[in-house]
Amino acid sequence: MQLFKVFFKILNKNKGQLIMYTAIYLSLTLLMSGVMKEQAEEEFTGISLEIALENRDQGELGAALEEYLGESHKIKEIPEGTEALKDAIYYGEIDYVLVIPEDFSEKFAAGDRERLLDGTAVPGSSSSYLAEYDMESFLKTADMYLSAGFEMKDAGDFAMEDMKEKGKVEFLNQEKGPSFSRGYYFFHFIPYVFVTMMILGVGVVIKTFQNKDLSARNKCSAVPYLQQSLQILLGCLVYMLAVFAVFMVMAGCNTGNYLFTAQGILSAINALLFAVCALCVSWFAVQFADNTAVLNAMSNVFGLGFSFLGGVFVPLDVMGETSRKIARFVPSYWYVIANEEIQKVSGFSEAGAIYKSYLAVVMFSLAFFSAGLLANRMKMRGR
């Protein structure tokens, strides 16, 4: 098993780069799965602003306006000094600054509505529109009660009560929208990671063994060529399973009991089959790489290409019909389809469509492996 040991010695020399990439991709997968899960939550919440407010008005309407804004937003004191105020706005500590003038209630009662309030916000920020919309809505409601003959205090109180009524937000086609688990979002981004890690890990080792001088020395070795190939193949499989195991451990930590359900087992099988496919892709890619720099570039080409075309980074739902037809010719498309179908089943007996996607990934694995063998044979003849 000399070549098997050498396989991992070469990996050990590149362990710094592999560990770095593993950590980066694990973080990316966990981060993106968390973000996508949060974005998919079907829940609406209003936006709360940080409003620095100073109420100089001695009247009842100014107090009512301050109370109303305090129920929807966070009220802060205005920082002392111009520079402190500018810094607070610049660093996002304050979204909006409002000063209610001394004669606000009197002028409003007298019918004076022009520039009674003048707030300050970051230029071009949507915060100013939201804050001014809330104030305008409150004041229009209060003006309606004043016009009906109510006293200022009653107008402010009734306006407060009316503004507490919130519209009910309902999502369109909610009954048709799929509800995906956290496990779905974790496994969704695995194709990019596996393709890149296989090419960077296995590709570097195979490229070393394909070195002209080293290859010639191995041919003169007492170890038969078939045995040499089997030892290298065994090293590739062990490396692939190690990467797969790391991600399954992370999946267990990130998704809780998901892996111990029927959906979790199907997701793990889906990931394992794609890991085999990624290994075959790395075998194919290494045949066309003259050095490790080209190999690194090809890892990005295959990793990003499969991810964008196959629906990993760009949802299949937003793709056009032509794009979806093209996507069928990359293995990540079938992985994504299987990952979506897995979320719709509750047992293995319902996984007929999933098994078809599994078969498609296996066929891609055979295609890339065969193409790699053909390319390798042509290179050997060329020598």
Q: Give the end of a domain, one of 163, 193, 216.
A: 163
φ and ψ at residue 133, rounded to 5 degrees: -65, -45
- Model pTM? 0.64
Residue 169 lies inside a defined structural domain of this protein = no
Q: Give the end of a domain, one of 107, 133, 163.
A: 163
Average pLDDT, the chain: 82
The residue-averaged pLDDT of 339-345 equals: 91
Could you report the per-residue pLDDT of 127-154, keeping only the tens digit for each?
Answer: 667 777 888 888 888 888 888 888 888 8
Q: Which of 66, 118, 116, 119 is nearest to 95 (CA)?
A: 119
For the ranges 162-176, 252-266, 297-311, 368-382, which has the lowest average pLDDT?
162-176
Domain count, the chain: 2
Q: Quick one: 234 and 360 in the same domain?
A: yes
Q: Quick one: 76 and 35 in the same domain?
A: no
φ and ψ at residue 290, rounded to 5 degrees: -80, -25
The more confidently predicted of residues 176 and 199 is 199
Domain that holds residue 89: 50-163
Residue 64 lies inside a defined structural domain of this protein = yes
> CA triplet 222, 228, 231: central angle to 5 degrees?
135
Q: CATH number of the domain at 137, please.
A: 3.40.1710
The more confidently predicted of residues 15 and 42 is 15
Strands 120-121 and 96-100: antiparallel
